[in-house]
């Protein structure tokens, strides 16, 4: 079955405990399960990975990109400053969709800018876990076009 990488950056292992007004109440395992269910319906398996470490995320992307059709990523705070993660995504040449649970455009000033966005075909922000479903459908449309 074709694969979609579902990647989460720092602190997202703490979903369910983090501020629910921004991030909702689901745990990361809940989100990974929901996204995988929806993607199986579309004929894709999601391969999940979370790390609090920039280098670990990059190593994992480099290892798994070759066998995958696309990437959904919530880079956490790396969104705002990791050029290395941007480059790793770009180097895969895969379609990538960036997801944020909270609305990064209506929070602190420093959250408004994403250095990851130029490596992605879309950014979905502020829709809590619903955003992943939207990201999945946008990604599959891009893969299949
Ligand atoms: C986040 C937004 C980031 O600014 C923040 O650092 C996160 C989560 C989100 O999903 O809303 O850790 O990516």
Q: Is the CB of 11 under 6 A from ligand 1?
A: yes
Q: Probe ligand 1: pick from 24, 74, 82, 115, max atoms within 8 Å of CB?
A: 74
Q: Is the CB of 82 under 6 A from ligand 1?
A: no
Beta bridge mates, 127:
none
pLDDT at site 108: 97
Point out the residues that are catalytic: 23, 100
Q: Which atom of ligand 1 is nearest to the CA of 18?
A: 12
Beta bridge mates, 97:
72, 122
The structural domains of the chain, ordered by start, are 2-143 (3.40.50.9100)
pLDDT digit string (tens) for 95-138? 999 999 999 999 999 999 999 999 999 999 999 999 999 999 99
Q: Is the CB of 88 under 6 A from ligand 1?
A: no
CA distance 120 to 97: 5
pLDDT band of residue 43 (cuts 50, 70, 90) is very high
123 membership: H or E segment, kind and range = strand 122-125
Cβ–Cβ < 8 Å for 101, 22: yes
Q: Probe ligand 1: pick from 7, 51, 79, 107, max atoms within 8 Å of CB?
A: 79
> Directed axis angle between helix 83-92 and helix 54-64, to 10°?
0
What percentage of the chain exceeds 90 in pLDDT?
99
Task: Say what the pTM is.
Answer: 0.98
Average pLDDT of the chain is 97
Nearest CA to 77 among 35, 18, 142, 138?
18
Q: Is the CB of 77 under 6 A from ligand 1?
A: yes
Q: Is the CB of 76 under 6 A from ligand 1?
A: yes
């Amino acid at each position: 079955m074709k694969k979609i990488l579902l990647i989460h950056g720092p602190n997202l292992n703490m979903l369910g405990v983090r501020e629910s007004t921004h991030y909702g109440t689901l745990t990361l395992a809940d989100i990974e399960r929901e996204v995988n269910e929806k993607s199986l319906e579309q004929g894709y398996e999601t391969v999940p990975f979370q790390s609090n470490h920039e280098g670990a995320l990059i190593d994992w992307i480099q290892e798994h990109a070759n066998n995958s059709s696309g990437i959904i990523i919530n880079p956490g705070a790396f969104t705002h400053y990791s050029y290395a993660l941007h480059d790793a995504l770009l180097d895969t040449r895969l379609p990538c969709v960036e997801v944020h649970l909270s609305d990064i455009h209506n929070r602190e000033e420093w959250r408004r800018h994403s250095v990851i966005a130029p490596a992605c075909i879309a950014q979905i922000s502020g829709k809590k876990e619903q955003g992943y479903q939207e990201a999945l459908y946008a990604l599959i449309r891009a893969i299949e076009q």
